[in-house]
Amino acid sequence: MLAFVPVAEGPQLLDRAVDSLRARGELPLLANEGVTARLLALLARDDWSVADLGALVRSDQALVVAVLHAASSAASGGAVESLRVAITRLGTRRLARVALGVSVGRRACAPGPLQALRLTAWREALATALVSQTLAKRRGEDAGDAYLIGLLANIGVTIALCAFEELRAEGLDELMASRSAAAWLALVERYQILLADEAFRCWKLPPQVVRGIGSRSATLEDARRVAGLLRQHTSLGEAELSATGITDSAEQRELLALVRNLPRMIAAMSGDPHETYEHSGLLVLAPAAPRATGAREGDAQHARLTASVPRGNGDLERYDVMQLTSECLLLLGAPLAQGALARVVIEPADDEPLSMWVNVVSVAPRDDSWLAEVVPFALDPETAARWRRLIDPTKKPPSTQDTLFIDGDDSGASPLEILGAAQHASATQAPSRVASNARKEAPPRRSWLRRLF
């Protein structure tokens, strides 16, 4: 049984521990020795030079790559190879945004005990930032400020999660014992505003950015709602955007064009999905997922499916597709980081490969391998149609504006529970029989929201 600090003592001890990190100047992402903190401090002075900025940027290879990439995307004459030219082209405001993105993203995506929550928060922040930027351009607002406001609107969440990991490393094991995602987020709520204010002060953010975060502008709130749609739907259309109050046809077209590229843009700033933390050290208790509606578990057709997931270095990791439903698929193979965004290439025996982006919902050991439940993320209409046909080739494809929902009232066993129970079944049974028996053996579970936020 897990040992927890008594309720009466826990909050006070945690308050003192967080205050100690603040007093020592050791809050994650805000430590004075960080390249980003020094860069922002330099930009706040009147006597900075391009040479000084270049020297700081060169000390962080990830920042060098990000600066060159950002400058090249903004250039009309091709790729930028000189760091001096890149810094000049970006300007101080955009350079600061790039530096903050690299700093927060690197920490948010690093392996660690709360990696799943950090990755989820980072994906939410990036989606909000990119949607905010797109809407701001259409509305005649400052797109750069809108991006930064969206990126940092919930920065206190990431700092709090990182601080909890620091406290665990300092030996406060009882304070930092394993909890559910909801319990961790309840702890985060105690500190996120305080830590966000600390970040704004440390980073010397422009006043209009701080005001934009605090005032919850219409653009930020619209962006949050669109990011929320991506948590609830496997694909988006005009009807879903209209339901959020975004009815302008030009804005809808630009947002749907953004959504097509959104997974790739988020993945480019989120690291390798195979970078995982030791499973026994994870602090987020795995919840029981709902059984997806429209499932065809155990169908012999799906036993012929394989898949691959590209690594950060370009290599392909092979997986067996153990189960395919209207809401998720189960992959058996190397471990994936829970909460990560990954590109999966499904390889049917009798059709062209299907490439799609997925969110890694949960990961569990199975014998000498790993079983990952993944959910499609931001599918474009063509990919969504192929995905539906792959699930049930005899069913007429629905319109591209149809979406797939998680059944919040379902109390059946999750796919992971089904396959866990199936391990005890006879190895000689047909796949459909094993899955059927496993469903009978698996205990009923209360539904949960598949995403953490």
| Torsion angles phi and psi, residue 323, rounded to 5 | -160, 145
Lowest mean pLDDT among 147-156, 347-356, 407-416: 407-416
Rounded to the nearest integer, the mean pLDDT of the chain is: 78
Q: How far apart are CA 274 and CA 39, in angstroms?
A: 31
Query: Which residues, listed in sequence order, are joined to residue 346 by a DSSP beta bridge?
Result: 307, 354
Q: How far apart are CA 284 and CA 279, in angstroms?
A: 10
Query: Residue 412's pLDDT is what?
Result: 39
**Token pair belonging to 104:** 């927060």
Query: Residue 32's pLDDT is what?
Result: 58
Query: Residue 422's pLDDT is what?
Result: 38
Predicted confidence (pLDDT) per residue in 19-48, tens digit: 888 888 888 888 655 777 788 878 877 788
Write down all domains in the chain, each with its CATH number in brackets: 15-268 (1.10.3210.10), 286-441 (2.40.10.220)
Q: How far apart are CA 433 and CA 189, in angstroms?
A: 46
Number of other residues whose CB lies within 10 A of the CB of residue 331: 31
Reported as a pLDDT band with limits 50, 70 and 90, residue 305 is confident
Cα Rg, the chain, nearest whole Å: 23
CA dist 383 to 82, 336, 346, Å?
39, 23, 12
Query: Residue 255's pLDDT is what?
Result: 96
Greater model confidence, 8 or 236: 236
Reported as a pLDDT band with limits 50, 70 and 90, residue 128 is very high
Side chain identity at residue 400, one-letter code? T
Greater model confidence, 124 or 78: 124
Taking residues 189-209, report their average pLDDT: 89
Alpha helices in 78-180 (DSSP H): 83-109, 115-138, 143-152, 155-169
Greater model confidence, 390 or 290: 390
Q: What is the dihedral of CA 192, 194, 200, 206, to 10 degrees?
A: 100
Q: How far apart are CA 94 and CA 113, in angstroms?
A: 32
The DSSP 8-state label assigned to residue 407 in this structure reads: -
Query: Which residues, listed in sequence order, are joined to residue 342 by a DSSP beta bridge?
Result: 358
Q: How far apart are CA 97 and CA 72, in angstroms?
A: 15
Lowest mean pLDDT among 98-102, 127-131, 359-363, 430-434: 430-434
**Pairing of β 341-347 and β 306-310:** antiparallel
pTM of the model: 0.78
Reported as a pLDDT band with limits 50, 70 and 90, residue 453 is very low
| Torsion angles phi and psi, residue 124, rounded to 5 | -65, -45
Asked if residue 412 lies in contact with residue 438, where contact means CB atoms within 8 angstroms, the answer is: no
Predicted confidence (pLDDT) per residue in 345-397, tens digit: 999 887 899 999 999 998 989 889 999 999 999 999 999 999 988 887 665 54
Q: How far apart are CA 359 and CA 283, in angstroms?
A: 19
Taking residues 83-94, report their average pLDDT: 88
Side chain identity at residue 127, one-letter code? A
Asked if residue 283 lies in contact with residue 176, where contact means CB atoms within 8 angstroms, the answer is: yes
Greater model confidence, 177 or 419: 177
Greater model confidence, 285 or 332: 332
Q: How far apart are CA 54 and CA 85, in angstroms?
A: 10
Query: Residue 75's pLDDT is what?
Result: 56
Lowest mean pLDDT among 118-127, 214-223, 403-412: 403-412
**Token pair belonging to 150:** 């969206």
The DSSP 8-state label assigned to residue 17 in this structure reads: H
Q: How far apart are CA 317 and CA 311, in angstroms?
A: 7
* Angle separating helix axes 207-215 and 181-203, nearest 10 degrees: 150
**Token pair belonging to 290:** 């709902």
Query: Residue 39's pLDDT is what?
Result: 84
Above 80 in pLDDT, residue 228? yes
Residue located via tokens 């860069």: 39
Query: Residue 344's pLDDT is what?
Result: 95
CA dist 315 to 81, 249, 312, 318, 358, Å?
26, 41, 7, 10, 18
Asked if residue 331 lies in contact with residue 368, where contact means CB atoms within 8 angstroms, the answer is: no
| Torsion angles phi and psi, residue 374, rounded to 5 | -125, 150
Share of the chain above pLDDT 70, in %: 77
Query: Residue 394's pLDDT is what?
Result: 64
Reported as a pLDDT band with limits 50, 70 and 90, residue 285 is confident
Predicted confidence (pLDDT) per residue in 90-108, tens digit: 888 888 888 888 888 888 9
* Angle separating helix axes 83-109 and 35-43, nearest 10 degrees: 130
Share of the chain above pLDDT 90, in %: 34
Query: Residue 178's pLDDT is what?
Result: 78
Above 70 in pLDDT, residue 138? yes
